[in-house]
Amino acid sequence: MPLTGSRMPRPAVALRQVAFRRWWMGALMQRRRIVSAMLTAAGAAAAACLTPHPLQAQSAVGAVDRIGLLLPKSGGPFARASAAVRAGIEAGYRRDGRGLAVDIYEFEETPAALAAAYRGMLERGTALVLGPLSRGGATALLQLGEVPITTIALNQPEGDVALPWNVIVFTLAIEAEAQQVAAAAMQDMRAQAARGPLAGAIVITAATPLGRRGAAAFVDQWRSLGGDAQAPVELEESALYKFRTLARKDKGDLYFLSMGSELAKPVRTIIGRNLPVYGTSLMSVGGPESGMRAPELDGIRLMEMPGIMQSNLAASLGYQQPPPEFSLEMQRLYSLGIDAFRVARALFSGQPSFEIDGLTGRLRYDGSQPQIQRRPLLVEYREGMLFTL
């Protein structure tokens, strides 16, 4: 059975073209009819639904505003991530679910399976979609051509592509963190104008897809801000001996490390402490209460979520805390689930713009871009622990 709650007046979902709301509503209905016909051949997807909170009354289909949640199929490589996001959505529903229902659609990451899921949601009168969760699913979303229901994608598709008119991206993408770190580093460097012209940034990345994406985003942003940066240096922990020679030759004003904390520890030992070092949440060991320590990383600045830095933040906002067995990465995805539900709730309010102090960061939407802008906290390692600046 789906999550349901008591009835509220049905508001319009705010989209980027708020000024043309009346025209858009007419166009939306026409698009839905066209796309519904296109998807009919795919058939309706079966929905696996969250168990309702026992304190909330049940309502018939159509008596509430329906949200569809698109998740990867159970048992696949994204099973743990899917479980964490689902738990966060459920926590958000328990606190703010009045007037809403949530249906879960598990699908294989193909356009055909995704089309079937949308067909099922159209038949149930779904007003807003959260997902897909993975990059592959987000890429499949674009391959539909037309997206019949306003969708908040929880990951970004592969490549630099234009989004459909009614798709908004809300993601924990490492690229956005790297860009924000680049801006913070440039601000720090300009505050030290006495040092003279910038020699540039030395970018070092782990030989992983995530590390490479963060490094590339930092380089692009750093250069756009007027800084200089060579191509990122890739390394693996088993080949650090090669990096020792290279580290003596490179000159710059700062380092950017796109890697996890375990690889960053020996790298920091090699590069020393003469230059500032920056990174992303990949390098985080958690908040001050996590019990983890990394004194080798003292002085490094990076981005981290408020929900990670303050272990009781979810509870202070009235949400259930993540299960104690959740890893650091699953805690982040749990926070994403809560914040995604809060974003959905804000869009249902009909306001053209909003800001939310979320667990994942300061969230902002004004319709000018097809994304929820997320600004996490800038933090620094001190005595092996992370502290907010």
| This model's pTM is above 0.75 | yes
Sheet holding 362-365, edge to edge: 354-357, 362-365, 373-375
Q: Which two tokens stand for residue 216?
A: 């590339």
Out of 164-173, 232-241, 242-251, 356-365, which region has the weakest mean confidence (pLDDT)? 242-251
pLDDT single digits (tens) 282-333? 999 999 888 899 999 999 999 999 999 999 999 999 999 999 999 999 999 9
The reported pLDDT for the residue numbered 197 is 66
pLDDT single digits (tens) 22-47? 334 444 444 454 344 444 433 444 34
CA distance 163 to 170: 13
pLDDT single digits (tens) 70-122? 999 888 899 999 999 999 999 999 999 999 999 999 988 889 999 999 999 99
At residue 241 the predicted structure's pLDDT band, cuts being 50, 70 and 90, is confident
Does the pLDDT of residue 255 top 70, yes or no?
A: yes
Q: How many CA atoms lie within 13 A of 130 on its CB side?
A: 29
The reported pLDDT for the residue numbered 351 is 83
pLDDT single digits (tens) 119-178? 999 998 999 999 999 999 999 998 888 899 999 999 998 877 788 889 999 999 999 999
Second-level CATH architecture of 175-283: 3-Layer(aba) Sandwich (3.40)
The answer to whether domain 18-169+311-375 and domain 175-283 are alike in fold is: yes
Cβ-Cβ contacts under 8 Å for 41 (sequence gap 6 or more): none
Domain coordinates of the chain in residue numbers?
Answer: 18-169+311-375, 175-283
CA distance 267 to 233: 12
The reported pLDDT for the residue numbered 381 is 97
Cβ-Cβ contacts under 8 Å for 130 (sequence gap 6 or more): 67, 68, 69, 70, 89, 151, 152, 154, 340, 341, 344
CA distance 188 to 165: 37
At residue 193 the predicted structure's pLDDT band, cuts being 50, 70 and 90, is low
β-pairing, 65-72 vs 126-130, is parallel
pLDDT single digits (tens) 207-233? 999 999 999 999 999 999 999 998 999
Region of 257 please: left (phi>0), alpha (psi -120 to 50) or beta: beta
β-pairing, 377-382 vs 301-304, is antiparallel
**Which DSSP category does 235 fall into?**
E
**Which DSSP category does 156 fall into?**
P
Does the pLDDT of residue 275 top 70, yes or no?
A: yes
Mean pLDDT of all residues in the chain? 84
The reported pLDDT for the residue numbered 2 is 54
Contact 201, 223 (CB under 8 A): no
- Give which of 76, 89, 85 is closest to 332, Cα–Cα: 85
Average pLDDT over residues 255-276: 94
CA distance 114 to 71: 10
The reported pLDDT for the residue numbered 102 is 93
The reported pLDDT for the residue numbered 143 is 87
Does the pLDDT of residue 238 top 60, yes or no?
A: yes
Q: DSSP letters of 52-86?
A: PPTTS----TTSSEEEEEEEEPTTSTTHHHHHHHH
Does the pLDDT of residue 199 top 80, yes or no?
A: no
Contact 232, 219 (CB under 8 A): yes
CATH topology of domain 18-169+311-375: Rossmann fold (3.40.50)
